[in-house]
Amino acid sequence: MNSKFFFVVFPLISSFPCFSDTYYAGIDYTMTGIELSGEKAKPDATAIRLGASNNNMALEVQYLTSNETDNIYNMKFDLEQSVGLYFVMQSGITDGYGLNISLGYAMNEMAVSGPSNTYNGKDQYDGFSWRIALLQQIPYLERTQVRLAYQSLYKDSDIEITGISLGITYQF
């Protein structure tokens, strides 16, 4: 099943840029939230996004890396990095505003460290990810947009990794 999926989806993904009418790049400041057992750590992060868009649909790659750690009960939580691939459904820009909804898959690496009698190590959290973003076109810079987004990077019964980001996108 996986090999059939790979052989069908890979040619679509790899050939998408040849059909694109717009490429874009963006950088975001992200306030992440790692919720574990009702407690929440909020390490800050920076995200870089690259995408190819055609007819209000895009494929986007996002790389997110942590700027700092946060503590829960003397244990440091650090979302070291997150890499995601997204299918983005874009609304048209109307009166300077637009809306994007993204669905995809994210691979998240989190490091936990604390006193010697607690858990110390790195964990990988991979799975379905989604995002909703509001865009505002910058007057006199038609190819540049300010972007505010909410993103769910991972969620299961034990842990939830989310983020609120503010950034800028430039279309080539």
How high is the pLDDT of residue 12? 54
How high is the pLDDT of residue 139? 87
Structural tokens at position 169: 């996108």
What residues contact 140, with CB distance under 8 A and at least 6 apart? none
Task: Give the CATH number, domain containing residue 134.
Answer: 2.40.160.20
Separation between Cα atoms, residue 104 and residue 88, nearest integer Å: 9
Q: Where are the beta strands (DSSP E) in the chain?
A: 22-36, 39-41, 44-54, 57-66, 70-72, 75-90, 97-113, 121-138, 141-155, 159-171
How high is the pLDDT of residue 25? 95
Instruction: Evaluate whether residue 3 is within a structural domain.
Output: no
How high is the pLDDT of residue 2? 45
How high is the pLDDT of residue 1? 41
Separation between Cα atoms, residue 125 and residue 151, nearest integer Å: 15
How high is the pLDDT of residue 19? 61
How high is the pLDDT of residue 105? 94
How high is the pLDDT of residue 18? 57
pLDDT in tens, 134-163: 999 998 888 899 999 999 999 988 889 999
| Domain containing residue 44 | 21-171
Instruction: Evaluate whether residue 10 is within a structural domain.
Output: no
**Residue numbers in the chain where pLDDT is lower than 50:** 1-3, 5-6
Instruction: Evaluate whether residue 73 is within a structural domain.
Output: yes
Instruction: Evaluate whether residue 7 is within a structural domain.
Output: no
Number of domains in the chain: 1
